[in-house]
Structure 1
Amino acid sequence: MTRKLAAIIAADVVGYSRLMGSDEAGTLAALKTHRRELIDPKITERQGRIVKTAGDGLLIEFPSVVEAVQCAVEVQRAMQDRNRNVPDDHRVEFRIGINLGDIIIDGDDIYGDGVNVAARLETLAGANGICVSRVVHDQVRDRLDLAFEDLGERQLKNIARPVRVFRIAVPAVGLRTPSVRPTLSLPDKPSIAVLPFTNMSGDPEQDYFADGMVEDIITALSRFKALFVIARNSSFTYKGRAVDVKQVGRELGVRYVLEGSVRKAANRVRITGQLVDTANGAHLWANRFDGGLGDIFDLQDQVTESIVGAIAPAVEQAEIERAKRNPTESLDAYDHYLRGLASSYRITNRQANEEALRLFNKVIKLDPGFASAYGRAALCYAWAKTNGWISFTTSEITKVKKLTQRAVELGKDDVIAVAASGYTLAFVVRDLEEGAALIDRALAFNSNWAEAWFWGGWVKNWLGEPEVAIERFARAIRLNPLDPSISGVRAGLSHAHFFLGRYDEAASWAAMALQDNQDFQPALRAAAASSAMAGRLERAHQCLLRLRQLNPALRLSNLKDFLGPYRRAEDISRYQEGLRRAGLPE
């Protein structure tokens, strides 16, 4: 066998069987024309070789991964232009997967894992999409001016190991797709990302404990106004893989990275940590902390104080003392709280949201003074309303209001309790003024919490201040640039641009939100309304059809029941007009 390293492209036509069934002769003619006029010349220009074709599929080999990616991007952009005036149901649209790997040469054919991974990546790409493996991303990210979206680790069919997948952002025709991975400059104050700690317990079921420790350290550090702290969801995109801290520094825009591990056995716990300068990889500080589970909060305080002392010596000891706040005296309550957090980060899953609510309610029962648990429990109701999982009765709204009131009473300076309560009060209880005031208060005493900026962005949309909303969503993205569940931020940006009359930009942000979660109803509503107002009625009809499949009760007459508490009548009227043009019945 002959082997070599090569870049591999696997491509096929989306919905080929449907196209052939609708118009066999026309589809074949169009495909041949695209091959003759665009695809084959581009492959030759970029020094590629077509290995084989199979109906609508292509397998292509390139000696250079840069040339392979450039070829794919140029073809996809050109195909979108060619399809500009073609009806949606007659468009020939490709999906492309690209991998760099070892292949086996057999005559003119090629085989091996490198080929198989490219073929699996193709299935994830979607119409006009390009998905690449991590090795491709790492090879071209600093050579080509492209925006990449990290889709995380994926278990691909018949591939033994998980593959980290990235999607290349290719703007839709007539739309300007904002970069999902901008170049991030360093903030004007010490900046840090706390990476997921390694679970050294030997039991994967204890991951939630290590993750919760990191979450608490991030929360403690974020209280310091002298620091810039990256949010949890962005830090956790690096979980389970070896990382280059210099790359992390570039991707997150931070000066320092904290790495560490947690070992929990019986009633003992050991936390290790090391602080690294991302500019040169130098280790600035390292330490180990041992103690009993009863001392867990003291251990967290020691870790936090040591980190702050290493990177921000100007922070006074008094500030450090004020940052030491044990969330609860009950270790059992704390354990349930960490489990609830683990479930709450899967908010697009109804069962996970219900499990999170059950766990947070258990925490409250075990420790009625745990402020953050009340805020998180209230937030579960907000997610249920966002996804249409529950119809709120008067008694349920009263229950939610009591949760928020208790959270604020107990956690006057707890950013989670105050900001989450503010968002839930505004969205579920419809007390917009009180909710907005609570979020502003939370941001005043902790400007490092990305979720508070996110919730605050939505509240500004409801208040009729879309320009300020855009600023708040931008701040949330800067603090949490790699958040894999960023669809809520993108949907919020879509709404803000919609209310400013920027319908193309609104449609673009909505499309990106739907890439993360194709059934996210706020994004579907925004996509339908903005596409209709921009004159893209076919796209608007498609989004509305899916929206009504998810929510058959939706009508123009009851639209307000599914929206946030918009203060300005003209915003609701604009929304109704967009959805009316999209085809929503009265």
Structure 2
Amino acid sequence: MSMVPSSIGPYRIIEGLGSGANGEVYLAEDTRLGRKVAVKTLSALDSKELTEAKRWVLREARAAARLNHPNIASVYDVLESPEGAHIVMEYVCGETLAQRLRDGPLPPAQVLEIAVQLADALAEAHSLGVVHRDLKPGNVIITPKGSVKVLDFGLAQVRAVEPGSTPVRSSRDFTLDGRQIGTPPYMPPEHLMGDPVDVRGDIYSLGVMLFELLTGHRPFQGPDAMALTMAILTQPTPRAGSGNAAVPPALDAIVFRAMSRLPQDRYASAAEMADDLRRATAGPAPSPVVSGRDAVLHAPTVSRDGRRPLPVGRRRRVFSIAGLIVLVGLGVYSAVARGRPPASSASATGPPVVAVLPLATVAGDTQGESLATGIADSLISSLTRVRGLTVISRQATLTYRDRKQDPAAIARELGVTVMVDGALQRSGDRVRVTLSILRPGSKIVSWSNSYDGSLTDLLKLQTEVGEAVVDAFSLALTSEDHQRLQQPPTRNIDALADYSQARTFLDRPDVKDNLDHSIALFLDAVAKDPRFVAAHAGLGAAYWRRYLATHDIVWSDKARDAISEALRLDPSNAAARSSFAVILSDTGRKTEAIEELRKAIAAQPSADEAHQMLGRLLFEAGDQEEGLAELRKAISLRPQYWSHHHNLGMALYKAGRFQEALLPFRRATELQPDQAWSYQMLGTTYHALGQPEQAVSNYLRAIQLGHSKAYSNLGTLYFEQSRFGEAAHAFEEALKIDPRSPVAHRNLGDVYAHLGQQVKARKYYEMAAQLTSDQLKINPRDARTLAMLAVYEAKIGNRRAAGQHISEALAVSPTSGEVLYRKAIVVALAGDGDAAVAALEAALERGYSASFASKDEDLALIRSRPEYRRIMAAAR
């Protein structure tokens, strides 16, 4: 504490009481009224900050002075002096809750008394638009008479902050030296992530305080600020009753709800919380309703196609013996038509984008499940043949087999405007298919019908169902369209049965022996009907799955041959061509893949996923403008699909067009807010733009959603700020989640190298190189992976191998800014400053981030060179 002044205005200083985040507190006497007061004085600031600081504190303190409540320490006065700004507050005798906690937890009955008073104090402040933002045991005093007084409302937030409003975050969310207002153990998750805070932030802080009073310890702990933040954002919210069996269930439930991770799951107001606390004080009462969403935050489960399903309730498929009851998740949906087509198929927001969900079947009916698979597959095939519709691939809808999401959630995740849902019931050799067309945006079932047939008539039934659903879209079909719809996939009923069962097995390749069964059944199907195009394509998909599992090139050759046969039989089959393009691309034959995708689009111009893949491949091949055009075409065909926006953002990011990349990444997070990857890239883009606050906020959001790579980026940001302990913690967390991540190993190596632990650093660099070499066995022509391997080899001193691999990377992608930047690192680590400067200049010209480069310790060799300063200045 600095030297104590003798007086401040009319207040005679008696002694110093302590220091706070923004200044020092003194006990003083008001010489006019003869009473003791507490005077808070701002810390010394430079002249540039002082004027704004005075305005800020005086404005906030004057607003807080409106508070008049027995449980709030009053603000009496605000004044200015040559030394700065001062807030004069009520002086409260007593003991802080922090001091009281030194003796351990308090009795639950006493905690209840304290809790009611605190909730009342917050309710009063919130009713006047004042949010405390730093509620903690050290800011609450218990007077000798047992009353509670909340201190330090003088630096609170004064805004319209009702739940559901959109408070705007400003520089006032930080202390005068740039630190965030608040004390991390008591700060709500949204505050830690840099999001706006409303009254529910104080409710969270109160919940944490009550938990600590009841148990004697805080709910979340960590050895440093980084670990504590991660614990608050990712660990399950604990129950106070688990740490203290004496806590009454009603009080336990109140505290748990107040500490909910999501603001909407907490009490909407402190007054509501106070009411529940009073009921708990009065005696046993029904526990408050507590959302289960915050009880456990699991890492997201990754589905078979790599997407993360939403964490929502499970819906069962129920069928009665007498007949079929179709539960298609309609909820508030109302059937407005039966057997009649809707008035219009076009969505008001864009072209019709259709998803056919897997048909529901009776649990345990394996034959029925196979039939349902075949009918859904045939239906997708029929819709795909119709121009004017964008139809989602069958693989993309497999996640929704068990109807774990409601229709609106499914539509949002897939980016569709229309869904075909339904069920199949089998009784003996009779089959009933019930279908509905749902429009999630309007919450209407716009069409529904049932179709009956026999197993021997299955081909006819499939054709009938396909034509009916196509008719339901009220599209003008040509005679050629009608002719295509009349063509069944096969006329051999046994081949169709084999195919349907094979598809069912292929849907679950994770189950032991399913892949073997699938391959065998597809082979049976093509043997029974050699012209069965879908069976050849399915066989190719099964072979490719086997290749991905074994990396045995024999299976990739078989996959290519099977799909080639499908295309020989039906050159216009866009789905088969797209599958063929995936195989070609993943085995390094990018040029051929591009050609196949062009043919697929010619056959089916509305194939949005083909446009997206073509755009990515063209961009990687150096044709950036055409690549971007294809990516934008994919968005125009399926504007509500987050992945298309994300891929456009990725291309713009790789081109160094960071400001432009922000918009598609933001749009992706709006369309799919529970999807972590776009938050990760939004943070990375802000990082590249030199905006660390926004970068950290988005990295933390991605981590909260379960994205391990965000730990690496967060660690990199801390490393750049010389916060090596926090950087190491972040990198170690990344490695725990993904032990085979080369980047996480390299990052830890960099930390230990900087700390002078060279042996430990080398171990991590060598592991990074080994893991990257393993990745190249799958695609030896991946330029980015080759370039990263070169960097790792350079770090362990293997200059020859590093030079060879960076040359191979440049041969594949000679204009890639990222690859050129890796070359700059490789040659800099080898001691060739001239080559490093030249490579860096080329990388920056092709869009690599100057912000990233300016902080990279691997370029230390050239940082003092005039040429380095020149090209960095030009890049900025």
TM-score by length of 2: 0.43
Cα pair distance change 1:546/1:225, threshold 3 Å: same
Matched, 1:501 2:664: no
TM-superposed CA distance for 1:461, in Å, is 4.5
What corresponds to 1:573 in structure 2? 819
What corresponds to 2:365 in structure 1? 203
Q: Distance in 2 between matches of 1:194 and 1:454?
A: 21
Q: Distance in 1 between matches of 2:825 and 2:777?
A: 12
Q: Secondary structure at the match of 1:412?
A: coil
1:454-506 deviation line (CA, Å, top 9, x unaligned)? 543453354334555566566667877899xx98x799668635532368979
What corresponds to 1:562 in structure 2? 779
Letter in 1 for 2:380: I
What corresponds to 1:316 in structure 2? 478
Cα pair distance change 1:35/1:495, threshold 3 Å: closer
TM-superposed CA distance for 1:208, in Å, is 4.5
Q: Secondary structure at the match of 2:550?
A: coil
Q: What is the aligned counterpart of 1:438 among 591, 596, 599? A: 596
Whether the aligned pair in 1 keeps the contact of 2:385 and 2:481 (CA below 8 Å) is no
Whether the aligned pair in 1 keeps the contact of 2:357 and 2:401 (CA below 8 Å) is yes
Whether the aligned pair in 2 keeps the contact of 1:344 and 1:352 (CA below 8 Å) is yes
What corresponds to 1:290 in structure 2? 452
Q: Secondary structure at the match of 1:261?
A: strand
1:319-339 deviation line (CA, Å, top 9, x unaligned)? 122233322334444344334
Q: Distance in 1 between matches of 2:518 and 2:559?
A: 15
Q: What is the aligned counterpart of 1:228 among 387, 390, 401? A: 390
Higher strand share: 1
Q: What is the aligned counterpart of 1:391 among 551, 557, 560? A: 551
Q: Distance in 1 between matches of 2:226 and 2:409?
A: 43
Matched, 1:121 2:296: yes
Q: Secondary structure at the match of 1:546?
A: coil
Q: Secondary structure at the match of 1:287?
A: strand
Q: Distance in 2 between matches of 1:525 and 1:578?
A: 24
Q: What is the aligned counterpart of 2:464 among 297, 302, 311? A: 302
Whether the aligned pair in 2 keeps the contact of 1:494 and 1:510 (CA below 8 Å) is no
Matched, 1:33 2:172: no
TM-superposed CA distance for 1:258, in Å, is 3.4
Whether the aligned pair in 1 keeps the contact of 2:378 and 2:489 (CA below 8 Å) is no
Matched, 1:415 2:632: no
Whether the aligned pair in 2 keeps the contact of 1:31 and 1:92 (CA below 8 Å) is no
1:363-414 deviation line (CA, Å, top 9, x unaligned)? 44454333233334434555566x6x43344x55543442232222123122
User: Which structure carries more relative contact order (alpha carbon 8 Å, separation 6+)?
Assistant: 1
Q: Distance in 2 between matches of 1:576 and 1:558?
A: 18
Q: What is the aligned counterpart of 2:740 among 535, 538, 546? A: 546
Q: What is the aligned counterpart of 2:233 among 94, 106, 126? A: 94
Whether the aligned pair in 2 keeps the contact of 1:419 and 1:439 (CA below 8 Å) is yes
Letter in 2 for 1:324: Q
Q: Distance in 1 between matches of 2:636 and 2:401?
A: 20
TM-score by length of 1: 0.60
User: What is the CA RMSD across the aligned residues, in angstroms?
Assistant: 5.7
TM-superposed CA distance for 1:305, in Å, is 1.7
Q: Distance in 1 between matches of 2:265 and 2:589?
A: 54
Whether the aligned pair in 1 keeps the contact of 2:578 and 2:596 (CA below 8 Å) is yes
Whichever of the two has the greater Rg, that structure is: 2
What corresponds to 1:404 in structure 2? 563
Q: Distance in 2 between matches of 1:396 and 1:253?
A: 33
Question: Percent of pairs identical after alignment?
Answer: 19
Whether the aligned pair in 2 keeps the contact of 1:231 and 1:450 (CA below 8 Å) is no
1:130-184 deviation line (CA, Å, top 9, x unaligned)? xxxxxxxxxxxxxxxxxxx8525578xxxxxxxx9xxxxxxxxxxxxxxxxxxx9
Q: Which runs of no fewer than 5 residues in structure 1 stay unpaired?
A: 1-29, 59-82, 127-148, 156-163, 165-183
Letter in 2 for 1:437: E
Whether the aligned pair in 2 keeps the contact of 1:201 and 1:263 (CA below 8 Å) is no
Cα pair distance change 1:234/1:88, threshold 3 Å: same
Q: Distance in 2 between matches of 1:535 and 1:185?
A: 48
Letter in 2 for 1:94: L
TM-superposed CA distance for 1:270, in Å, is 1.8
TM-superposed CA distance for 1:294, in Å, is 3.3
Q: Distance in 2 between matches of 1:471 and 1:526?
A: 29
Q: Distance in 2 between matches of 1:568 and 1:431?
A: 14
What corresponds to 1:52 in structure 2? 211
Q: Distance in 2 between matches of 1:243 and 1:371?
A: 33
Letter in 2 for 1:390: T
Whether the aligned pair in 2 keeps the contact of 1:461 and 1:495 (CA below 8 Å) is no
TM-superposed CA distance for 1:420, in Å, is 0.8
Q: Distance in 2 between matches of 1:349 and 1:577?
A: 44
Whether the aligned pair in 2 keeps the contact of 1:462 and 1:565 (CA below 8 Å) is no
Q: What is the aligned counterpart of 1:260 among 422, 436, 439? A: 422
What corresponds to 1:173 in structure 2? none
Alignment of 1:72-221 (within 5 A): 93-95=232-234, 97-98=261-262, 107=280, 115=290, 117-124=292-299, 151-153=310-312, 186=348, 188-199=350-361, 203=365, 206-221=368-383
Whether the aligned pair in 1 keeps the contact of 2:211 and 2:218 (CA below 8 Å) is no
Cα pair distance change 1:238/1:434, threshold 3 Å: closer
Whether the aligned pair in 2 keeps the contact of 1:186 and 1:255 (CA below 8 Å) is no
TM-superposed CA distance for 1:217, in Å, is 1.1
Q: Secondary structure at the match of 1:436?
A: helix
Q: Secondary structure at the match of 1:569?
A: coil
Whether the aligned pair in 2 keeps the contact of 1:231 and 1:479 (CA below 8 Å) is no
Q: What is the aligned counterpart of 1:374 among 524, 528, 536? A: 536
TM-superposed CA distance for 1:185, in Å, is 7.0
TM-superposed CA distance for 1:441, in Å, is 0.9
Letter in 1 for 2:592: E
Whether the aligned pair in 1 keeps the contact of 2:187 and 2:201 (CA below 8 Å) is no
Q: Distance in 1 between matches of 2:441 and 2:645?
A: 31
Whether the aligned pair in 1 keeps the contact of 2:543 and 2:555 (CA below 8 Å) is no
Letter in 2 for 1:547: S
Q: Which runs of no fewer than 5 residues in structure 2 stay unpaired?
A: 1-179, 192-196, 235-259, 268-272, 302-307, 315-328, 330-345, 666-675, 683-698, 721-726, 746-766, 784-811, 827-855, 859-876
Cα pair distance change 1:100/1:328, threshold 3 Å: farther
Query: Mean alpha-carbon deviation: is it higher for 498-507 or for 567-576?
Result: 498-507
Cα pair distance change 1:45/1:255, threshold 3 Å: closer
